[in-house]
Amino acid sequence: MLLIEDLKVEVGGKTILQHIDLEIHPGETHVLFGPNGSGKTSLLMTIMGYPQYRVVAGKISFKGQDITHMPIYERAKLGIGISYQRPPTIHGLKTRQMVSICARGEIDVVELARKVNFEDFLDRDLNAGFSGGEIKRSELLQLMAQNPDLMLFDEPESGVDIENLQVVGKTIALLLQKNSFPDQDKPKMQLKLERRKMGLIITHTGFILDYVAADKGQVLYDGMLSCLSNPREILNCIHENGYKECVRCIM
């Protein structure tokens, strides 16, 4: 379980998140809505442990451990993984090597890449000249290799064309055990009972909801969370009233 209690975060002395409470139970996927600059990515980075996001109050626990000040790589080892929106290019590091790093070496990289239709990219430098869709598929491939228990997705549908959107959406559903891999077709009920993976997805458009059945949705507005409810309902509300309606909830 991921548990965030009354979290306050600063970057360069400026408060960017406050009074954040969030609880994600095993098997649950949450969706985070919010306008640009509301602090969604900052929340993901804070959970992942980026040092420039300084926790000044509150606490983050994962699997019963206080991880508030745990270094980033230890969180990764504990089972937190992230799919970035715009990851940096690393020249000379092949995508194949990165996938292998994520899996700590114990994996058939080609076989895994086939699942996201990404074999052709394995010998390219990581993220070098990748298109929007290619970046997302590479990020998902890395997550598949890492196989973390909590997955953070930063706008998985941004910059992705319609065709790739389906690949991205379906892959996320597989990662979060919302669907089973074709080779291990399981009854839905069994799938639900066995589901342990946790997800936190940032979305602007909500397109991802067409592929991933999210359990809960929340709106992050001006550094604060509000409106814990059914994600579809929130999306409809935002469509009709815009984010200004969320301000009323927070006040």
Which residues would be at the binding site for other proteins (CB under 8 A)? 48-51, 71-73, 75-77, 81-82, 84, 87-88, 90-93, 97-98, 101-102, 104, 125, 142, 146
Cβ proximity to other proteins, 64 vs 92, nearer residue: 92
CB of 87 to other proteins, least distance (A): 6
CB of 146 to other proteins, least distance (A): 6
Residue type, 35: P
Cβ proximity to other proteins, 48 vs 234, nearer residue: 48
Q: State the alpha helices, DSSP H only, in 117-187.
A: 132-146, 162-175
The rounded distance, in Å, linking the Cα atoms of 139 and 145 is 10
- 141, 113 contact by CB (below 8 A): yes
Q: Phi, psi (5° rounding) for residue 164?
A: -75, -25
Query: Which DSSP symbol is given to 148?
Result: -
The rounded distance, in Å, linking the Cα atoms of 13 and 1 is 30
CB of 115 to other proteins, least distance (A): 18
Cβ proximity to other proteins, 94 vs 170, nearer residue: 94
CB of 136 to other proteins, least distance (A): 15
The rounded distance, in Å, linking the Cα atoms of 193 and 188 is 9
CB of 241 to other proteins, least distance (A): 36
∠203-89-212 over CA atoms, to 5°?
Answer: 25
CB of 244 to other proteins, least distance (A): 34
Cβ proximity to other proteins, 84 vs 211, nearer residue: 84
Cβ proximity to other proteins, 87 vs 199, nearer residue: 87
Cβ proximity to other proteins, 57 vs 103, nearer residue: 103
Helix, coil or strand: residue 202: strand
Per-residue tokens: 198: 């946790």
Give buried/exposed letters for 146-172 (b at 16+ CB in 10 A, else e). Answer: bebbbbbbbbbbbebeeebbebbbbbb
Q: Tokens 């890492």 belong to which residue? A: 146
Q: What is the CA radius of gyration of the chain?
A: 18
